[in-house]
């Protein structure tokens, strides 16, 4: 498995990224971490900078690619979710 790039993500950023990948909004992440949504947004901006991304979707896709080592393709989608 690909070890990926070292983005120097902090422990707090890792938790925020985990919650982002689980589909939570900034507000919900903030509630879980007992902080302000603005704090979550600040950490997300740091993550965008560190990973050279610009959006939540782009960040998630890049991290998932680094973890699983392959780009999402139509064939992979059909294999997983297509009709039998």
In CATH, what number is assigned to the domain containing residue 50? 1.10.10.10
Q: What pTM was estimated for this model as a whole?
A: 0.81
Q: Is residue 2 part of a domain?
A: no
- Helix then strand then coil, in percent of the chain rounded to 5, is 65, 0, 35
Indicate whether 1 pLDDT > 60: no
- For residue 58, tell me if it sits in a domain: yes
2 pLDDT more than 90: no
5 within domain boundaries: no
Give the C-alpha separation, 49 to 53, whole Å: 7
Let me know if residue 3 belongs to a domain. no
pLDDT the model gives residue 68: 80
Task: State pLDDT tens for residues 46-70.
Answer: 999 999 999 999 999 999 888 887 7
- Any domain includes 1: no
pLDDT at position 84, please?
62
Domains: count for the chain: 1
Q: Is residue 63 part of a domain?
A: yes
Residue 57 lies in a domain: yes
- CA 65 to chain centroid, in Å, comes to 10
Residue 70: phi and psi, rounded to 5, are: -150, 150
Task: Quick: pLDDT tens for 3-48.
Answer: 557 899 999 999 999 999 999 999 999 999 999 999 999 999 999 9
Q: Which domain holds residue 65?
A: 11-81
């Amino acid at each position: 498995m690909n070890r990926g790039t070292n983005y120097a993500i902090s422990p707090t950023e890792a938790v925020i990224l985990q919650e982002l990948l689980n589909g939570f909004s900034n507000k919900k992440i903030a509630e879980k971490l007992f902080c302000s949504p603005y704090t979550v947004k600040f950490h997300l901006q740091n993550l965008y900078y560190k990973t050279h991304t610009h959006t939540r979707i782009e960040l998630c896709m890049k991290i998932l690619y680094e973890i699983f080592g392959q780009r999402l393709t139509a064939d992979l989608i059909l294999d997983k979710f297509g009709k039998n």
